[in-house]
Amino acid sequence: MDKVIVNNEVAVLVSPGYGAGWYSWEHDDSMLFDPGLVQLILNGAEFDEKENYARNKWPDAYTGGIVSLEVQWVPEGTEFLIDEYDGAESIVYKENSNWFKA
């Protein structure tokens, strides 16, 4: 899977706004790291350009989370998950979580 990596950090697409998630509503890993969408966001693309890109790339996906979509940088090799509450996504790092073992 292609990823944007700068200074040993990976660009991750996250939708922190309430209402609709991005990855959390589709669970398609390519939606987390898509280099084309990362570049659009980093270049300050308008909503319509991002929405058209997403609809062409993932025609069957719900893309409502694109409204608040942003790039967050995660150190390369770091284990994480996307947590979602009422559509608002956040990155949770494994090392910062209380994981239980049965």
The reply to whether the predicted model has a pTM over 0.85 is: yes
Q: What is the pLDDT of residues 6-58, one digit of tens each?
A: 999 999 999 998 888 899 888 899 999 999 999 999 999 999 999 999 999 99
| Domains of the chain: total | 1
Q: Per-residue DSSP letters for the chain?
A: ----EETTEEEEEE--SSS--SSTTT--THHHH-HHHHHHHHTT--HHHHHHHHHHHSTTS--GGGGG-EEEEEETT--EEEEEETTEEEEEEGGGS-----
> What residue numbers bound the domain in which 12 lies?
5-96
101, part of any domain: no
